Structure 1
Amino acid sequence: MSDVLTPQLEEKIAQAVSLLQQAESQYQGNLVLANSLGAEDMVLADLLAQHLPGIGQFVLDTGRLPEETLTLLAKFSERYPQLKVDVYYPDATAVEGFVRDHGINAFYESQALRKACCGVRKLEPLKRALAGRAAWITGLRREQSVTRDAVELSEWDAANGLQKLNPLADWTLAEIWAYIKHFDVPYNALHDQHYPSIGCAPCTRSITVGEDVRAGRWWWENPENRECGLHAAASSSIPLRTSR
Structure 2
Amino acid sequence: MITTVRSAVDLSAAAARGAAELEGATAEQILTWAVEEFGDGLAVTASMQDTVLAHLAARVKPGIEVLFLETGYHFVETIGTADAVEAVYDVKLRRLLPLQTVAEQDAQYGPELFSRNPDLCCALRKVAPLNAAMDQYDAWATGLRRAESASRANTPVVSFDERRGRVKIAPLATWSDEDVDRYVLEYHVLVNPLLSAEYPSIGCEPCTRRVAPGEDARAGRWAGLSKTECGLHT
Give the TM-score, by structure 2 length.
0.84
1:174 maps to which residue? 178
1:29 maps to 2:29: no
Report the counterpart of residue 82 of structure 2 in structure 1: 73
AA at the equivalent of 2:79? L
State the distance in 1 between where 2:197 and 2:86 align: 24
Of 99, 120, 135, the match for 1:91: 99
Pairwise mapping of residues 219-234 of structure 1 onto structure 2 (< 5 A)? Answer: 219-222=223-226, 225-232=227-234
Contact 2:44 2:65 in 1 (8 A): yes
User: Identical aligned pairs, as a percentage?
Assistant: 36
The 1-side partners of 2:47 and 2:151 are apart by: 18
- In structure 2, how many angstroms separate the alpha carbons of the residues matched to 1:53 and 1:213? 32
Write the distance in 2 (CA, Å) between the matches of 1:179 and 1:75: 18
Q: Of residues 99, 105, 110 in structure 2, which corresponds to 1:103?
A: 110
Structure 2 residue runs of 5 or longer lacking an equivalent are 1-22
Q: Is the 8 A contact 2:58 2:64 kept in 1?
A: no
What are the residue-to-residue correspondences of 1:1-244 with 2, within 5 Å? 15-39=26-50, 42-80=51-89, 82-92=90-100, 95-96=102-103, 98-109=105-116, 113-192=117-196, 194-222=198-226, 225-232=227-234
SS of the aligned residue for 2:40 comes to coil
Q: 1:156 to 1:52 in 2, by over 3 A?
A: same
Counterpart CA distance in 2 for 1:220 and 1:171 is 28
Cα distance, 1:106–1:77 mapped onto 2, change above 3 Å: closer
**Secondary structure at the counterpart of residue 181 of structure 1:** helix
* Total equivalences in the alignment: 212
After superposition, the C-alpha distances for 1:24-83 in whole angstroms (9 at most, x for unaligned) are: 1111331100111122xx111111222221421111100010000011112112221x21
Q: Letter of the aligned partner of 1:83 in structure 2? A: V
SS at match of 2:140: strand
Deviation at 1:147, TM superposition (A): 1.6
Which amino acid in structure 2 is aligned with residue 106 of structure 1? L
What is the TM-score normalised by the length of structure 1? Answer: 0.81
* Aligned mates of 2:78, 2:146 — CA distance in 1: 24
Q: 4+ residue stretches of structure 1 with deviation over 6 A?
A: none
Which runs of 5 or more structure 1 residues have no equivalent in the other structure? 1-11, 233-244
The secondary structure found in structure 1 opposite 2:72 is coil
Q: How far apart in 2 are the matches of 1:121 and 1:34?
A: 15
1:216 to partner: Cα distance: 0.9
Asked if the contact 2:44–2:57 (Cα under 8 Å) also holds between the matched residues in 1, the reply is no
Q: CA deviation at 1:206?
A: 1.6
Q: CA-atom RMSD, angstroms?
A: 1.9
Name the counterpart of 2:10.
none
> 1:144·1:212 contact (CA, 8 Å) conserved in 2?
no
Task: Assess, with a 3 A threshold, how the Cα gap between structure 1 residues 193 and 209 changes in structure 2: closer, same or farther.
Answer: closer
Cα distance in 2, alignment partners of residues 192 and 105 from structure 1: 27
State the distance in 1 between where 2:187 and 2:39 align: 28
